[in-house]
Amino acid sequence: MSKRRKPSYIASSGLAAEFILLPGRTRGKQVDLQIKTADAFAAHDLEGLWRVRRAARETAAFRRVLQLFVERGGPIPVEEIVGGLPDVGPEATRQALVALDADDLIRIQSGKVDVAYPFTASSTPFVVRLHGGRERFACCAVDALGIAPMTGQSIEIRSRCHHCAEPLELGATPEGARPEGSGIMLWIGQRADDRCKIADSL
């Protein structure tokens, strides 16, 4: 039996998970997985990258974008974001948004923000139900799980196993995944081209 060719895409500049595997459901296909611990990933010298990205996420512009995605979803017109930050000022806000786009934390297309990690305005396999029944699309599996602690709310996640297409639903709280998520494995894909913006591969 030949091994399945590994996918050549990923959904985060540092770490991401594009696939959710349900144990024991591969329909006879051989799955070639390399399992690593969190400590092993830390050895990839990602701390500096995370530090820079964490600082960018704390800007008023990025917080405003995320707030709008939570409240009503995207895409969000840039001018609406600019108008919502009078204390920052129009020019400073526009420059901040351009910098966030360059850092691959958001994507601006046709004057609108359509991706702001962990959210995307486009349809993905990762549907997150927020408080009150509002549904949003997450960029990847890890992003979906991260929405609960980010918003401070319990959420429901709906997706499918990448290999067997088995429907998958699990809940998450700000403290982590609920017990029904036990035994589910996230496959961390290998990014094919570090020069490409991740938002353009969604």
Would you say residue 164 lies in a domain?
A: no
Say if 156 falls within a structural domain: no
Q: Is 85 inside any structural domain?
A: yes
Q: Is residue 62 part of a domain?
A: yes
Query: CATH code at 85?
Result: 1.10.10
Separation of alpha carbons 200 and 202, rounded Å:
6
Contact present, 24 and 166 (Cβ < 8 Å):
no
In a domain, 179, yes or no: no
For residue 109, the enclosing domain spans 57-115
Instruction: Provide the number of structural domains found in the chain.
Output: 1
Q: What is the pTM of this model?
A: 0.70
Helix and strand numbers (H, E) in the chain are 6, 11
Residue 80 belongs to some domain of the structure: yes
Is 147 a member of any domain? no
Q: What is the pLDDT along the chain (202 residues), one digit of tens a residue?
A: 444 444 333 333 333 444 444 444 445 555 555 555 555 555 555 566 566 667 777 899 999 999 999 999 999 999 999 999 999 999 999 999 999 999 889 999 999 999 999 999 999 999 999 999 999 999 998 899 899 999 999 999 999 887 788 898 999 999 887 876 666 666 666 555 555 565 555 5
